[in-house]
Amino acid sequence: MERIYLDNAATTPLSACVVEAMRPYMQAGVEAPFGNANSVHSVGREAFSALEDARARTARAIGASRPDEVVFTSGATEADNAALLGMALGQRERLRLKGRAGGHVVMSRVEHDAVLHCASALKRLGFEVSFADNDSSGRVSPESLAAAMREDTVLVSVMAVNNEVGTVMDTASLARVAHERGALFHVDAVQALGKIAFDVGALGVDAASFSAHKVGGPKGVGVLYLKTRTPFEPFLVGGGQERGLRSGTQNVAGIVGCAAAIEHAVREQAAFADRARCWRDGLYERLRVIPSVHPVVDVACGDESFAPHIVSVCVRGMESQTTILQLDMRGICISGGSACSSGSLEPSHVLSALGVARNLAQGLVRVSFGEYTEQAHIDAFLSAFEEVTA
Ligand code: PLP
């Protein structure tokens, strides 16, 4: 049975260029480039030069103005945690030195858990957290962000593309609203990179999180973009690597793969988006006529206010897990919203924020496309889906 993988928002297969870039690092023995990038000797310097090359290439691809604005992390969860806690604490310290208080953070209700769960950590640190209202697509308008902000708001975090339903936010306008009111702006750009045009410089954000494994790179590597002079207290402390912003010996092999993946995803973005948008529109059209299917968001043909790679619908009277397992038995991999909460029978917090009824939300299924997707995979999914939901 051919394996059909349509869960690319959860993770992606490695891109061929990533495997090539990482191959030298996967060799055994002392002749391989295995060094600690912080060692003084030649083996260390060789690793350091690979690390700095990866940093410069990543910075260019995401639109950073300097390589040292790129901090390599263990993934987007770490980048999100570091951004939320590190920037909030950095801001508090900056304001304390000026004799002012600043203890308020704003985020959206549709954030990935990696951001959302920082709310309780922030509260334990003495910050107050508010949530900006969203519309029925999960979109936060500049006006609703402005309404959620206060005099003492130090940080705003709103994702660029929602991972469950594909809503694209107006990141540039949201960042502008945050800045006009004196706060910093962080964006979780995990599902935006390689899917929509995304340039941290043009968007004017202070910080952004990326994950290699969502764009054909290895798991366990990510990037925190941190604009020069952004107030930040390091989240991981220790040996002072990454200019003291993220301690821990760098995963050079993973970072080389991460840079190759990000460069490749950005280079291919426009072509991929055109392809994926056709698949998305065609799939929604065919799903809408199935009586038990309820589309979660209203995506028009060619609609660029939704990501091209995500299709989300609820199946009435059938729990996500059942649909997923029935399709899996037919060789097709999809998910029920976020991969992190796939084991949970609780309806997704994103659908609750969109106002979708609990019984309907329990039937959420998400199909997501990637580099290796073909029209034939979508056709196979559709005929299997029609069979299991009949
Ligand atoms: N943010 C978003 C929007 C995601 O989709 C994910 C992955 O599911 C993450 C953060 C977490 O990324 P990572 O798996 O690299 O920790």
What pLDDT digit, counting tens, does each position of 294-345 carry? 999 999 999 999 999 999 999 999 999 999 999 999 999 999 876 555 555 6
The residue among 137, 72, 95 whose CA lies nearest residue 310 is: 137
Exposure letters 333-350 (e unless 16+ CB within 10 A, then b): bbbbbbeebbeeeebbbb
Helix, strand and coil in the chain, % to nearest 5? 45, 15, 40
- pLDDT attached to residue 347: 83
> Which of the listed residues 214, 215, 348 should we mutate to test ligand 1's pocket, taking the one with most ligand atoms within 8 A of CB?
214
The residue among 177, 367, 193 whose CA lies nearest residue 280 is: 367
Residue 233 scores a pLDDT above 80: yes
Beta carbon of 211 within 6 Å of any ligand 1 atom: yes
> How does the average pLDDT of the chain come out, rounded?
96
- pLDDT attached to residue 293: 97
**Do the beta carbons of residue 133 and residue 140 sit within 8 Å?**
yes
Residue 355 scores a pLDDT above 80: yes
What pLDDT digit, counting tens, does each position of 81-123 carry? 999 999 999 999 988 888 887 799 999 999 999 999 999 999 9
Residue 251 scores a pLDDT above 80: yes
Beta carbon of 382 within 6 Å of any ligand 1 atom: no
- pLDDT attached to residue 115: 98
181 or 2: whose pLDDT is higher? 181
- pLDDT attached to residue 178: 98
Cα 339 to ligand 1 centroid, rounded to whole Å: 9
Q: Over range 4-16, report the average pLDDT.
A: 98
Confidence category of residue 2, pLDDT binned at 50, 70, 90: confident
Residue keyed to tokens 């951001």: 115
- pLDDT attached to residue 101: 75
The percent of residues above 90 in pLDDT, for the chain, comes to 93
What pLDDT digit, counting tens, does each position of 138-180 carry? 999 999 999 999 999 999 999 999 999 999 999 999 999 999 9
The residue among 220, 181, 238, 228 whose CA lies nearest residue 200 is: 228
| Identity of residue 188 | D
pTM over 0.75: yes
The percent of residues above 70 in pLDDT, for the chain, comes to 98
Cα 45 to ligand 1 centroid, rounded to whole Å: 32
- pLDDT attached to residue 339: 55
Tokens linked to 57 = 């290439």
The catalytic site residues sit at 340
Closest atom of ligand 1 to CA, residue 159: 3
